[in-house]
């Protein structure tokens, strides 16, 4: 690698709103997206909500001359909706499916069926290892009463951990996607603090696009205007985030977003706005050394956000326990009802009614049993994320007070079963 090495990387990100039978003007929008991507010839195009594999195949064929490498991340029942088109060969890919992703019985929300995930691509560009991640977190259906908050925070933590553990040999890390998180939301802060990723919108000096970088704007004809009422300018939930290891410096030269229309002022490509970033990677002069993600010791923002996340997951745990208990009681009642019905049948009284009620009560037991098991699983997943958060906090305390006499209690803390300690 030459000392005056410099790499320019043009990146495109869009939540495509490509949902069969639901999204308006799907075929036309996918066609125009393909035309636009071909014309612009980005290095990487990272897409979310491509929930039709046929549309991915169509785009693959259409983009083949410009983007010879492509990958669709399969997961869940419907699919993660994530896919990527690259001008450069993809060396490796991997994915992580989030442990928590809504509830199967919330069919009208549908997130559970998608298997939301994070996809990883490893590219080698001019001798540099680039780890590019694409993700889509659980949707926020109500900001006032967000029953999925604990799930989204857990997803943000799993995303941060996946990046942390898989990018240890990467020179540059890039994360694009629809986080369904506003910039100051807990999940977004947790992700940025733990990974050290920086926000292209906040970093760039050359931004053109929707006001305040919003990626869902009222000007977009596909957006549900009612949902955006509390936010007259719109909301910013889609991101381009990046970082480089010490020795390299990465900056966002330009950032563009669409503004409720397609890039040529036609009808929009999606209900979200597209992000188009030009990133520049070069050797880091001493004054520009990209700071590595700061360890927990010296960074109180990290410690504080970890504690906040821990508390949020604790609320989620209370909620999950409540549902598991309720479902457990229903199973118990169902069993009692079943026993009563059997007694009635045996006794010959109300025989027809008893037989009639027998099947619904079995259904009740099975249904409530499934809900019970699901929420037990939710408790386990929240508990796991809490243990990981707690571990990071403990390592911070150990680093702050490494005296030998304090070690036994610290190590005690490292073991499980003393959750109260963090409260």
Write b or e for each residue in 105-134: b if 16 or more Cβ atoms lie within 10 A of its Cβ, otherwise e.
eeeeeebbbbbbbbbbbbbebeebbbbbbb
Report CA 406 to chain centroid distance, whole Å.
Answer: 38
Distance from C-alpha of 188 to C-alpha of 131, rounded to nearest angstrom: 19
Nearer to a second copy, 336 or 355 (CB): 355
CB 361 within 8 A of CB 341: yes
For residue 264, indicate whether it is catalytic.
no
Residues that bind a second copy (CB under 8 A): 53, 56-57, 60, 64, 68-77, 79, 89-97, 99, 113, 115, 120, 161, 165-166, 168-169, 352, 355-356, 359-360, 362-363, 366, 373, 376-377, 380-381, 383-384, 387-388, 391, 395, 398, 407-408, 411-412, 414-417
CB 201 within 8 A of CB 236: yes
Please tell me which residue in 96, 151, 272, 375 is annotated as part of the active site: 272
CB of 387 to a second copy, least distance (A): 7
Q: Sign of torsion, CA 355 357 361 364?
A: positive
CB of 383 to a second copy, least distance (A): 5
CB of 12 to a second copy, least distance (A): 18
Nearer to a second copy, 70 or 331 (CB): 70
Distance from C-alpha of 164 to C-alpha of 316, rounded to nearest angstrom: 24
CB of 406 to a second copy, least distance (A): 12
The tokens describing 355, both together, are 């037989």
Nearer to a second copy, 275 or 354 (CB): 354
With a CB cutoff of 8 Å and minimum separation 6, the contacts of 21 are none
With a CB cutoff of 8 Å and minimum separation 6, the contacts of 268 are 29, 220, 221, 222, 258, 260, 261, 262
Nearer to a second copy, 82 or 223 (CB): 82
Nearer to a second copy, 14 or 163 (CB): 163
CB of 416 to a second copy, least distance (A): 5
What does the DSSP 8-state code read for residue 216? B
Active-site annotation, residues: 272
């Amino acid at each position: 690698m030459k000392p005056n090495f410099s790499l320019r990387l043009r990146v495109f990100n869009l939540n495509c709103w490509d949902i069969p039978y639901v999204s308006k003007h799907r075929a036309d929008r996918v066609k125009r997206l393909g035309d636009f991507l071909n014309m612009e010839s980005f290095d990487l195009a990272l897409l979310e909500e491509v929930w039709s594999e046929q549309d991915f195949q169509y785009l693959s064929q259409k983009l083949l001359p410009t983007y010879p490498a492509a990958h669709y991340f399969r997961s869940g029942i419907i699919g993660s909706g994530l896919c990527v088109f690259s001008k450069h060969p993809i060396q490796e890919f991997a994915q992580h499916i989030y442990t928590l992703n809504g509830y199967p019985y919330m069919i009208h929300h549908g997130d559970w069926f998608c298997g939301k995930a994070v996809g990883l691509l490893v590219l080698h560009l001019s001798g540099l290892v680039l780890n590019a991640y694409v993700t889509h977190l659980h949707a926020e259906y109500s900001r006032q009463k967000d029953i999925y908050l604990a799930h989204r925070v857990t997803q943000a933590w799993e995303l941060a951990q996946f990046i942390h553990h898989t990018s240890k040999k990467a020179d540059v890390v890039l994360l694009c996607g629809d986080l369904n998180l506003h910039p100051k939301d807990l999940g977004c802060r947790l992700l940025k603090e733990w990974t050290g990723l920086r926000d292209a919108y906040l970093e760039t000096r050359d931004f053109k696009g929707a006001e305040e970088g919003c990626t869902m704007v009222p000007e977009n004809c596909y957006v549900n205007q009612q949902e955006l009422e509390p936010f007259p300018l719109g909301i910013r939930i889609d991101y381009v985030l990046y970082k480089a290891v010490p020795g390299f410096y990465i900056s966002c030269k330009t950032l563009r977003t669409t503004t409720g229309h397609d890039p040529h002022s036609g009808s929009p490509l999606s209900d979200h706005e597209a992000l188009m970033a030009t990133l520049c990677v070069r050797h880091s002069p001493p004054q520009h050394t990209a700071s590595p993600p700061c360890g927990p010791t010296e960074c109180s923002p990290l410690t504080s956000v970890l504690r906040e996340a821990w508390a949020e997951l604790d609320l989620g745990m209370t909620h999950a326990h409540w549902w598991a208990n309720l479902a457990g009681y229903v199973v118990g009642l169902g069993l009692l009802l079943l026993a009563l019905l059997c007694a009635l049948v045996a006794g010959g009284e109300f025989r027809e009614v008893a037989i009639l009620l027998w099947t619904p009560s079995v259904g009740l037991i099975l249904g409530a049993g499934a809900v019970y098991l699901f929420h037990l699983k939710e408790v386990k997943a929240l508990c796991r994320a809490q243990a990981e958060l707690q571990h990071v906090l403990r390592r911070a305390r150990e680093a702050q007070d490494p005296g030998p006499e304090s070690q036994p209690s610290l190590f005690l803390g490292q073991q499980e079963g003393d959750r109260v300690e963090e409260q």
